[in-house]
Amino acid sequence: MTRPPSVPLFSAELAARGLDLTAVLGQAIASERYVLGPWVQAFESAFAAYVGVGHAIGVANGTDALELALRGLDIGPGQRVLTVANAGFYGSSAILAVGAEPVYADVDPVTLNLAPQVLADMLGSQSIHAVIATHLYGRMADMTVIAPLCRAAGVSLIEDCAQAHGARLAGRAAGAWGDVACFSFYPTKNLGALGDGGALVTGIDALADRLRALRQYGWGSKYEVVCRGGRNSRLDELQAAVLAAKLPGLDVANAERRAIAARYTAAFADMSLQAPVVGADENVAHLYVIRSPRRDALRMHLTACGVASDVHYPVPDHRQPMHVGAYADVHLPVSEAACHQVLTLPCFPGMTDSQVSQVIDAVTCFEQEAV
């Protein structure tokens, strides 16, 4: 029987936050409203205010949020959506679900987010109808450049904030830069539920109305379908109650993540591996991802040391088997190299000092043995 690692990759961090979710869930159950009731409304209001936009629309999960965002912007067959290829295929799944065509752009070699200059070149040379900008690993893409580029080109901008709850750039939250933004509340996210959940946020009133219809069959009023492409994708009351309880502690939890990440980056400064730049508010350290040309050997070493790890993500979207050579002529050297080198180390609220030290010692030992 395989022993569990002494340092796990993730933790739900409920004990560290001191929350009594049993009481919260009991209140939600006692209300006898389980779908689109008062807890969803309360969370949507609080989350919209937190992000700094007018509307939040709770949905079943983050991937549904991406698909509904595209449908809300009337993106469909015959249209082309620019996105990155190193973020786990979630954006690609949504693009394909609406019948549009993914167009892949390479990423910045430091942040691994959408490279603004690549975006500018592609917007100037190709027909693009929408852009999905992913804030990868908790670090915001450079929206101070990306958002103006999209506005100037007349292209809709969707933010994928599934890994960036609470991140801020130039005082503006992740989710407040695009036409619409998408969040996942999967349990391991910075703001996580006890199961699946997601949300869309927007400051555009008409778009918010359309998204509310699309998440529930396309209804305008009950049983009256006013929007083509509607889904059954609703955040339930129990998950909304959990999220409402956890939201006030998000910034504190993010600060813990940053502190752990900063400790790692300082410890790894003189090593051959490439450690991420932690930064300030623009990075909420959802995942702490290093890059090593000896990634697989390092991962085996960490396992032997009782330290969990994972690869986010090993196969770039344009090289996924389902594409069957459709992107054979597309070459994204930064994205492709990163997918062969990235390795995620444990970084979560509630990690003890000794656990952080164990990770650092394991990585240090591997680096020293290789010298």
Q: Tell me which of 3.30.460.80, 3.90.1150.10, 3.40.366.10, 3.50.50.60 is the CATH number of domain 250-370.
A: 3.90.1150.10
Of 128, 124, 87, the residue nearest 106 (C-alpha): 87
Residues of the chain with pLDDT under 50: 1
Residue ranges covered by each domain of the chain: 14-248, 250-370
Q: The sheet that has 180-184: what strands, in order across it?
A: 55-59, 198-202, 180-184, 156-160, 130-134, 80-84, 101-105
pLDDT confidence of residue 2: 61
The answer to whether 17 touches 349, Cβ cutoff 8 Å, is yes
pLDDT confidence of residue 217: 97
pLDDT confidence of residue 12: 66
pTM passes above 0.95: yes
Q: What CATH topology corresponds to 14-248?
A: Aspartate Aminotransferase; domain 2 (3.40.640)
pLDDT confidence of residue 279: 82
pLDDT confidence of residue 8: 96
Fold: same for 14-248 and 250-370: no
pLDDT confidence of residue 14: 62
Tens of pLDDT, residues 220-263: 999 999 999 999 999 999 999 999 999 999 999 999 999 999 99
Tens of pLDDT, residues 313-357: 999 999 999 998 899 999 999 999 999 999 999 999 999 999 999
